[in-house]
Structure 1
Amino acid sequence: MLDPLGAHGEILNLFLSYLDTAYRIGRSDLAAARRELLAAPDGLMPEPFLEPVPRYRASDLSFEDMVTAGAGSPLCDFSEEERVAIVEMFLSGLFPGDESDGRLARRSQFAPYSHQVEMLTRGLRPGQPGIVTSGTGSGKTESFLLPILASITAEATRWPAPAPGYCHTDWWKASRNETIMPDGKTRQKTPEFTPHRGAEGTGRPAALRALLLYPMNALVEDQMVRLRKTLDSPEAKATLDRRARGNRIFFGRYTSATPVPGHLSHPRRTDQGEKNAARTRKRKAARMLREIAADQELARTYDQQNPDQDPTRYLFPSIDGAELVCRWDMQQTPPDILVTNVSMLSAMLSREVEAPIFDATRDWLAQDEDAYFYLVLDELHLIRGSAGTEAAALMRLLITRLGLDRPELRHKLRILSSSASLPLEGAEREQSLKYLFDFFGPFGTYSAGAENGATSPEDWADSVVPGTMQLPERGSGILDSVPFSDLARLLCPEGHFTGTLNYRPGEEPAPDEIVSRCGRALGTPSGAVTDVATQAGRRLAAACVDKSGALKAAPARQISESLFGTTADLLALRGLTILRGMGDGQDDMPGDVPAFRLHLFLRNLEGLFLSPTLNDAGKVEYENLTVERGASHAETSRGTQRMFELYYCEVCHAEFIGGRRGQTSDFTARTEILPTTSDLEGLPDIGGETDYEALSHQQFVLFLPRRTQVQVSENEDESWRDAWLDPSNAQLLDTAPTAQDGCIPGRIFILKGQAARHPRSAGPNGCPCCGADYFRRSEKFRKSPIRSFRTGFAKTSQLLASELLELLKRSGTQPKAVVFSDSRQDAARAAINVERGHHDDIRRRLLVEAMRELAKAPAVDVEDLRRQKREAEAAGDYDREDDLHEQIKQARNAGDPDRIPLSEIIEIADSGRPAAGRLLAGMVRIGMHPTDDTGIERLKGGERLSPLLRLVRAI
């Protein structure tokens, strides 16, 4: 991104505009105070953080060197033929490589990191587990895949060649299961399952060589993309054809989403019910495989049409290569690499149907002297607490099931892992090593013939591979901020975000002159964009090194102070970050120039809180406005008073005060407004915050701080009673107090009858100020116009994701977004609500665009239409006369920008229109479902929709 700090300001302005629109406040002074509060540096969006992406030391050993380095190579125990095959496989998808004409058919583009080579070395030696703990983006996944791929590839060079038709079974195709009946009709018969690896050579034992265990399904899916690139790419297939006689290294995902549950053929039941169920399972499996094949074909077609984009085929499984997508395939012929999660592995170890997977692996480990089993636990830092204890017990159960606890076989277990946090410095060292020893014990630390493995936590110290970080050199002196500020003003007029450069470096004197001035300030007199951008990146990275010498994310003001001597020069810092971003478009940019991550923090507003006071003129004023929940009292112009949560009417924007209903302890039965509290019992499955709309009237009290004429709701059980609010103790009084005590006159919401106990009865159906009444609304919608100022996690996520994707598009990059949440249900709701919110926003945008286009329709000569109408009337062509009459009416309205013919926007099935209207046409043009916000529901309506569907097909 060219302008990361500009993105912060753009997102902030978007959210402020959204809040001013969706959460509008009627009082202008209160609305201005809220905007000022949220626009402050510690308000809605704290200042951004910049984090240099750590650069790790590259290994002195290239991949090519591993073939010839002898004892210095981690592959020294393999034959030359095996080393060549291993390195070529490394460079066929796991790492980028190019074709070569030498001894190696592929050559590397860069050397691996030193920690990747160390993990490769440890993973190929018995009794040397490896846990890589380098930073994000440092190739941790490649670190533990390297030894697995090396070991299996070396074995693959000794496998016999498979028979013709290898990996090309098509039992699931509909054409294979058609039978011509005597009457000439075609009937689908039950497909007969054929193993994907049926043509495999007999000297190639099917067993698990590696099991990759993840704590959740989302991580499993991410790993599958990596494995498809590594083992099922055209380059990997070519390498295996050349070095392994056409064999394949198989992998599979075994989760709840893997088709199809149940036995292929039940080992005991032969009754008719089981036979019917078996036929159903086979048909279901065939149907799902056909869908998988169709999806893969679409992805490959897309890749052919878009060769410059990242391949999409690896996002989907393929059934004509190295991936086993069906449970029956994996049960009959276990894949070399199995990817699963903790919950599924627990079920597999206890079920009969998956027993062949572990039995075949156990037999292979016992019979083959060179057989080794890799157990990989990715994201080890997520396996903790009670769930971590269960995972540790499950790991021991797996080891026992495979016979790897037996003294003669235990050296065949090789443990690899990755973790984002496993510090070995200071007081945390003891905790980290204790965690490893408690989790793994001695397993994975036995070497061949050794009697003892790890006996203490310290024995696990050497297994941690942190990687060697390259720290930037500290810059000298304070930079002159003027040229960098000038650059930001030139490229970002009026402070707006700039996605791409609006000039070509070297072709316009004004920008080039400022860049040269920036270069001189940085000590780079050449003025070349590449040199200046390189030095800018290094100075920014050096400003993020803390006193201990560690590279850390730093706030923008701290970086500004380090570089320019003041925390207030954020415009100059913005110019410096833009200067670094300018280098990304240069072909000769060095590869070691620091890159940066931008950390943005957006507050999910939990409400609006304040202290109401009554001034001398009897008007209510609000002080101590805040979005921080939890404060109960605050100092005001009238002394210490209680804090209250503010509510508003979404129609007239009148303000209300509300809170939990409480009773005073002085036996006067007075109502007290208490702060709303979080529901902690539901965490982490359900978010802790409870919206007032879910409460009952008996739990919640709502107060209108004014005495206007009450608008009556259709709900006869609702009323508003006169009351006075004492801001000092939050009590609501039924009788008028003395004039000097500062009590606020208003009305309290009352709901009679049994409805007061029901959930969702906290707010009134009708607003007492404007009369907006939701009494007759469907229960699917909100039943009260009174709302809180809480934004909600899902909407905040949707707006943030939409704006970030938009900014990334404007920056010329392909946008991607991943959303996390502390609550499982909030995460699930966020996923669907982001999609729904995006659907609604696009629909609104298309609607507005359609209306604007109609408003700008070319002017029509009304007099000419009237002349044609008279001629039609004289000729007796009354149909033509009616049509011209309608055109004249539309032409009159066309001159009014506030009047648009709805017939041009709303679709009417039997309108006779030859093409779809502007709104529907816009949706079809971008591939958007016209009605369903999730995009999957079929249109309902039968024959009534036939004309509409014809319009869609005509677009």
Structure 2
Amino acid sequence: MAGDLGTAVYCELLPISPNIEGIPEKTPAKLVEKRTYQEYGIFWPQGDQEFTPHDRTRGEWTVPMDAWWRQSTLEGVNLTDYTAQWTEAYLNKYSGDVAPYNLDVEDKPENWISGYFFRVLRDLDHSDVADSRMQANLDDFGNLVDTHKALPCTCPGCGVNEQYRAKGSSIRGFRTGFAKTTQLFAKELVYQLPDNAKQRKLVVFSDSREDAAQIANGIERNHFTDLLREILISELHNNMLIKAKIVAVLENGEDANEFEQLHASQFYEVQEAIEDSKINVNDPNPRKRQRREKSVQSIAKIKNRIVRVNDLVHLLNTHECAPLIRSFIQLGVNPGGPSIHLQNIPRSNNPWFSMFDFEGQSWTNDNVEFQDEIKRGTFVQLAACFWEPILFP
């Protein structure tokens, strides 16, 4: 943000900081939440949306365009000396100039985007605190004095004022973590390598030992999370959609040969459940009645597309691996995740994979405690997938 450039222009929005003397050793880039109003401008392209002034303490604004608030200030700056507001303005597509309505906007409207520009004005003289021409905005060395945070407290779209909440603004910075970016590049590069496993090697360089350690750990964890999402979606698709279609086909007496060929495991499981559900409710054999009750409940869950998360990780009274565990060991990946305490069986030198029969897809080791630890690790990762927020409040 360059301050007022003239009577017809509020400012010029630049894609990078004008302070480039320190590049590349000292980059001026920093998180948008830590920017100040003097260095970072906010323009809201209105489009088809309607401008909504924020709620006033008493009554409503007589003129919505005059709506103002006290923008959050930096330490040592008096809040009540300044007024903040959204001002109707126009952004030039080519130069980045932000200006009020003028003859240039009227003559060439195709070059301009209409919207609102966030401004902070001094109450004493109604001047913009980012105007470098005003002596009151400069320090003894001629530099602009930082007074306010860059992100406005109020939203022009909904009028909500976030001033007294944790973040102080409804605008958030959106950025990708370094480890995630590296993982995406590494994954795509591996796809370009030869199919021979012995020839597929990738070395990632970093000029920092700390970054190298974080990259190695981050890539492994992010890759496991991606695998878990893919496996989870696949299992939910098999358990809910495919089985529901099979139930509908069998109950309606339709041809089910296609499902039997393409989804044999799911087909036979559903077929057996339907047959057991037809057992007479008054059958003298209690085991048959128990099978019938269990099958009726199972079919009801399939029809309602309900899958218990616990059933994806833990099966009762059997050494057979649950669906998610089975899918992970088929890939040769520890189902509990990459945590170091899950890589070896406690009090032994045996690795985690000695707990499984890969051909029979079942648990082989009787170390129940470590089995529970692996399952607990899977549950923790699932919980992160389900409830970990994408955008932090």
Give TM class, smaller chain: 0.3 to 0.5
Decide which structure has greater strand share: 1
If you compute each CA radius of gyration, which structure gives the higher value, 1 or 2? 1
